[in-house]
Structure 1
Amino acid sequence: MRLTGKTAVVTGAAGGIGQAIVSKLLEEGARVLAVDLSAEALEVFSNLNTERVRTLAVDVTDYAQVEQMVRHAAEQFGRLHIVINNAGIGLAKPLLQHDPKTDFDPVTRVNQHGVYYGILAAARQFQAQGTDGVIINTSSVYASIASEMTFAYNVSKAAVDMMTKCAALELAGLGIRVCAVAPGRVDTPMLRQYEALGLWDHIRKEQMRQTFTQPAEIANVVAFLASDEANCINGCTISASDGFENFKYPLLDPV
């Protein structure tokens, strides 16, 4: 087990990818603080028969709560080693139909501010401990390509990639690694909004092998990056998209 003795925080833990990450980290021997916005959502972990997982309701758009989150993990398990900034939201809506207060600002707060707060709080905790550490951010293939109806999401994930690079550079002297994972089409509840739009089969075909990636496959990549085996991987975003970003056809006809 690659992560035995390590303590990890996972935000967005109650979501499809988040649950898979928590499960994989536990399988690899880690102690995990599973974090999500509501305590009710975190009840999905109540049936796990292990003392190596704890839960905490946190709003990642509030830096004070994020700072308390990393302290809580260290207090619960003795020391913090890994922070996975996985919380994210996305809305499918054409740009010209946007209300900035509902369609741009919330996505920016969760996907961009939440990752920034997670990086900052984690790095300060590692520094206070006098230890190295690993920070992993959930990005997206949409960080590097344009697409219809996902303006705010793409912009926020592009910011995640740049924060990953900049943080890795500034924190390297402390022995802290920072990297990101960019999933493509993963079969999660958030992606299911495309089903209602009649685009489910279409987006499946955007994967090279025309099948959706499963959350557990993303979790496998995250667990590897969190381990000492990935020590040479730093300041970069790892694509986990089955080739999604290497070809594309438009979702909608031109206006």
Structure 2
Amino acid sequence: WPDYDMIIAINGWKQIRYPLLKDKGFLPDMKALRSLITDKSKILVINSPSNPTGAVFPRSIQQEMVEIASEYDLYLMSDETYDQIIFDGEHVSPAIYDKEGRVLSIFSFSKVYAMTGWRVGYVCASPSLSRLIADIQEPYVSCACTVSQKAAESALTGPQDCQKTMVDAYRRRRDIAVEILKENDMVVYSPQGAIYMLIDISQSGMSSHEFAMSLLEKERVAVSPGDTFGEMGKDYIRICFAVSEDNLEEALKRICRHVRRNA
């Protein structure tokens, strides 16, 4: 999520990125991850289900993440914004393996309840970390407005069938995207969760930013450049499943056409 870059920059911190490569299912290489940790490292950030890849970390990886946090005396911040949007497998929070109060699990109402405009989420953490987060929140954002908090309460306590309806719709759109990309001989994988997918546009010979701008200008399709999410995304664009099936099909056909035109 690009906003993490801004948060780090504003606070004058230094980040070390770990790669998530397609040939590994966009899952972290745990040995490589360990090699990047230094004596100055303070916090490890993970995101599952993933924006932008749609990868879902299995239990084994989540458990090892907690073990790494303990071994290297780190906090583990787990971005679980898309925890209920799972197509294949299961969502496992690393918090279930945490016995030392190192995990901060972040959740949002924006995606799982389609409440993007309400700007409300929450953190699950140990009592000591929760108090610290509350103290820090005050000068930064004060609090979520009362109306948003009441709306969030209604979402949590009301009927939950809307989540299944949305997940089923996103799964259909995921399947449509995979099928169209296969039909057009585009390199493809199948996202396990979230509402996004990366499309390999390397055949075009263009950078992800160049391709995205050209696609918008010539095909009237808006996507996110993959390199917005780091160096690993330089050959990709990100699409979103939060559109109608008809619009998704047409957009994908235009994307494939634009890749062929520039190949």
> What range is the shorter-chain TM-score in?
0.3 to 0.5
Greater C-alpha Rg: 2
Greater relative contact order: 1 or 2 (C-alpha under 8 angstroms, separation 6 or more)? 1
- TM-score when scaled to structure 2? 0.34
